Every structure is written in structure tokens, then in C-alpha cells.
Amino acid sequence: MSSLLEVRDVKKYFAVKRSFRQIFRRAQNHYVKAVDGVSFSVERGKVLVIAGESGSGKTTLARIAMKAIEPDSGTIIFEGQDVTEYSGERLKHFRSRVQMVYQDPYSSLDPRMRILDIVREPLDIHDRASSKSERTDKAIRALQDVRLEPAEIASRYPHALSGGQRQRVALARALVLRPALIVADEPVSMLDVSVRAEILELMRDLKERFQISFVYITHDLSTARYIGDNIAIMYSGKIVEQGPIDDVLLDPLHPYTQALIDAISEPNPDNLHVEKKIRIKGFSSEGADEGDDDIRGGITDQITGCQFYNRCLYSMPACKAKEPALLAVKNGHSVSCFLYTQTSTVGSEERTG
Ligand SMILES: Nc1ncnc2c1ncn2[C@@H]1O[C@H](COP(=O)(O)OP(=O)(O)O)[C@@H](O)[C@H]1O
Ligand code: SF4
Ligand SMILES: [Mg+2]
């Protein structure tokens, strides 16, 4: 069965503004390599989790995949069609098939619109063949699908809703066109912990009931296993490990993935290991240390070799000379790290130390 979405070797570099001094000294332009040669696919009716620290390029990748921004290079195949160059009517159709849910439930809904109008708006744009009352009925059904009570909520404004209710409205708005794919960019990270599980459970239910695929973006692996089928771990604009979610989270290979898992303070059940020493230099679960400017997603254009070199406890001289490729190790589980390739076997015994 072909994939629903295939993203092939996409890149997006952003120019970093030079200071006056750098311009005066004619310093070279630098680029943030926000996304640097990333490929992944999403199967129909499955959830791909994209995980990584803040600044690793997750949002840029999501925006490329849903054609909100143009990649510098690379290809996007959706439902078997190359949509990379789509514009006009074809782009509009693509936009009706792929919807986004954003991180911030407080700013993603138009505060001047009532909830029913917010949810009906995508139909007003994309489903002009239906009458207004038919579109209203569909919007009401979408509110019910996300377990909101339309009679109670339809005529309210977003400010009168809790964060969790707003994220449900955002999901209803995404759902109302019955898209094939919803891209959810850290949809629960700004919600109370008590509400997070409800929203994740709802997304899982929507996936099952409507066979919708999701790209679920998070910096928090403790939510990933609950919802994901497959996972891609991003570091500094690249995927460093990917595969079926149980394989990756129960047997993480890349030192970075191991560190992310070690950082989970309240893991889901099923024994993701807890409270281990974090095996990484300069790590915080929210993102890299502010002062460590060569490890934040991107100001890395001068680093050769493995981008993780400066933080890796298992680094070897070979890691600095050349960049490791993302290679399959077993059953669709791939990793980019010299500990697992022929290039260098030195240090493989140290890995478990
Ligand atoms: N429009 C932009 N202009 C310049 N740099 C950007 C822009 N968008 C993102 N970046 C940079 O690209 C890198 C990746 O950002 P982002 O995709 O937002 O990561 P994440 O979602 O994982 O936090 C960061 O270094 C960020 O500062
Ligand atoms: S390639 Fe080397 S530096 Fe990079 S993650 Fe693997 S061991 Fe660490
Ligand atoms: Mg982001």
C-alpha cells in the first residue's frame, strides 16, 4: 500500500542576519539549517510522531509538508501526486485534504468569531456546493465528534472557553472537511497536564473512527507512545533515528534518543526507563542550554561531521570527520550514528556504559 504522504530530501535554510560588525568585516552569510535533507512518510490511518528539542526543525518541517512554506529543495508526494509545485485550484484542493492544529490554543482561533462560525469556515471556503444549513449541520457534527456540546458552545466566543475546549474546537475545525491528514504541532504542550491525556485520547479516537492520519509533533516523548505508530527523532534539522514507535522507544539506538527517553520524568506505562542519568551534554528537556550556541537547531552550519558530536558522550574522532548517514538497522528502524555502521566500530562497547 502506498504512503499517504511522502516527503523526500527536503531542505530549508534561513539566512541569519549579520550584525553591523560582521557586515563591516565582510563576514560570510550564515544559515540556520532548519531542515537539512529530511525524508519521511506517513501511512494511511497511522500516526507519525516527530520528536525533538525546541529548535530542531519540527515546525519548519511540518510547514513544508503541508505546503505552508516552500522548501529550498526536495519533493512532497501526497496521495500519489507530486504536490511540490502545486498552486491555484490544485493547491486549494490539497489544503482541504491536509489540516493543521497549532500549539497555542489561545491565539489559533479568531477571537471575533463564534465557535460555530470558526468550525464552519473551512466548509464555507471549500464546500460551496452545500447549502449554508448543510454546512452548519456538518459543523455541529464536527463539534459532537470532538465531544463538545454544540447547544452549549456554538454561539460562544473563544475567550469564554478553556484551553482544552479550544483545542477541541481547533480539532473540530480541522476535522470538518474530513481531511486525510492532520498535522498537530505540539497540540497539548500548552495545556494543563490533566487535560493533555483527554486530547490525546480524542486524537487517537478520531484516527480510529475516521482513518485519519496524523503527524504529531512533540518535544515530550512521554506522550508519543500513547498516540504514535511510527516515530522520527529530529536533531538539528535532521532525522537521526526513525522506525516503529515501540522499537525506537524501547530500544533507542541513537545517543540523542536515549537522552530524550532518559529525560522523561513521568513516562507512560509499559516501562520506558525512568530517572536514569541523562546521557548528554548540555541537555534540558525543553531545549538546549541557551549559552550553548552551537547546539541550538541550526547555528550549526560550521560543524562538520556528526551534528551531535559536541554533546555526545560516545563521540570518536571519526564522528567529526564525516556525517553519519541514516541507515536501516532492523525492521524499518534506522539510525544515523557511527556506533552502528561499518565506518567505525570503535566505542561500540562503551555505548552501554
Ligand atoms: N522564519 C524563520 N527565519 C529564520 N529562522 C527561522 C525561521 N523559522 C525557524 N527558524 C529557525 O530554524 C530552526 C528550527 O526552528 P523550528 O522549525 O521552529 O524548530 P522547532 O519547531 O523544532 O522548535 C530554529 O533555529 C529557528 O530559530
Ligand atoms: S556518530 Fe559519533 S558523535 Fe554522532 S551520535 Fe554517533 S557516536 Fe555520537
Ligand atoms: Mg515548533
The pLDDT assigned to 287 comes to 42
Share of the chain above pLDDT 70, in %: 83
Over residues 63-90, the mean pLDDT reads: 96
Residue 297 CA: which ligand 1 atom is closest? Answer: 25
Cα of 100 from ligand 3 centre, angstroms: 13
Which residue's CA lies nearest to atom 5 of ligand 2? Answer: 337
Residue of 12, 14, 53, 290 to test ligand 1 pocket, by largest number of atoms within 8 Å of CB: 14
In the chain, the percentage of residues whose pLDDT exceeds 90 is 73
Ligand 2 atom nearest the C-alpha of 351 is 7
Q: What is the mean pLDDT of residues 275-293?
A: 45
Average confidence (pLDDT) over 269-285 = 48
Dist. CA 262–CA 278, nearest whole Å: 6
pLDDT for 69 equals 96
Tell me the Cα Rg of the chain: 21
- Per-residue pLDDT band for 28 (boundaries 50, 70, 90) equals low
Residue 39 has pLDDT above 60, yes or no: yes
Q: Give the residue ranges of DSSP H helices in the chain.
A: 20-24, 58-65, 88-97, 115-126, 132-145, 150-153, 163-175, 193-210, 221-227, 245-250, 255-262, 317-321
Instruction: Report how far Cα 234 is from the mean position of its chain's Cα atoms.
Output: 9
Q: Which atom of ligand 1 is nearest to the CA of 217?
A: 21
Instruction: Cell 552551537: give the residue.
Output: 294
Cβ of 167 less than 6 Å from ligand 1: no
pLDDT tens per residue, range 133-156: 999 999 999 999 999 999 999 999
Instruction: State the pLDDT at residue 222.
Output: 87
* Ligand 1 pocket check for 236: Cβ under 6 Å: no
Query: In Å, how far from its chain's centre is CA 74?
Result: 18
The finding on whether 57 has its CB within 6 A of some atom of ligand 1 is yes
pLDDT band at residue 353 using 50, 70 and 90 as cut-offs: very low
pTM of this prediction? 0.88
Q: CA nearest 71: which of 36, 121, 119, 123? A: 36
Confidence of residue 342 (pLDDT cuts 50, 70, 90): low
Q: Which residue has the higher pLDDT, 20 or 37?
A: 37
The mean pLDDT of the chain is 87
pLDDT at residue 297 above 70? no
Is the per-residue pLDDT at 282 higher than 80?
Answer: no
Residue 318 Cα: closest atom of ligand 2: 2
Question: What is the pLDDT, as a whole number, of residue 269?
Answer: 46
Write down the H helix ranges in 98-162.
115-126, 132-145, 150-153
CA distance 58 to 54: 8
Q: How many angstroms separate the first and last alpha carbons of the chain? A: 41
Cβ of 279 below 6 Å from ligand 1 = no
What number is the average pLDDT over the span 180-188?
Answer: 97
State the cell numbers at 66. 503541508
Place of cell 472557553: 161
Q: Which domains does the chain have, with CATH numbers?
A: 5-352 (3.40.50.300)
pLDDT at 82 over 60: yes
Mean pLDDT across 37-50: 97
Could you tell me the pLDDT band of residue 93, with boundaries at 50, 70 and 90? Answer: very high
| Dihedral angle sign, alpha carbons of residues 81, 83, 87, 89 | positive
Does ligand 2 lie within 6 Å of residue 340's CB atom?
no
Q: Ligand 2 centre from 306 Cα, in Å?
A: 6
CA of 49 to the centre of ligand 2 (A): 23
| Higher pLDDT, residue 283 or 230 | 230
Nearest CA-CA partner of 77 in 85, 89, 69: 85
Ligand 2 pocket residue status of 60, Cβ below 6 Å? no
Q: Kindly state the average pLDDT of the residues 325-333.
A: 93
pLDDT for res 30: 80
pLDDT over 90 at 284, yes or no: no
Residue 213: the pLDDT is 97
Distance 275 CA to ligand 1 centre (A): 30
Tell me, using a 6 A CB cutoff, whether residue 255 lines ligand 2.
yes
CA 192 to chain centre: 20
**What's the average model confidence in pLDDT over 309-328?**
93
The pLDDT value given to residue 78 = 98
Measure the CA–CA gap between 39 and 61, rounded to whole angstroms: 10
Verify whether ligand 1 is closer than 6 Å to residue 34 (CB atom). yes
Alpha carbon of 176 to ligand 1 centroid (Å): 30
Angle at 186 between CA 81 and CA 262, to 5 degrees: 115
Top mean-pLDDT range of 32-41, 103-112, 260-269: 32-41
Contact 222, 272 (CB under 8 A): yes
Ligand 2 within 6 A of 212 CB? no
Q: What is the mean pLDDT of residues 179-205?
A: 95
Q: Which atom of ligand 1 is nearest to the CA of 234?
A: 22
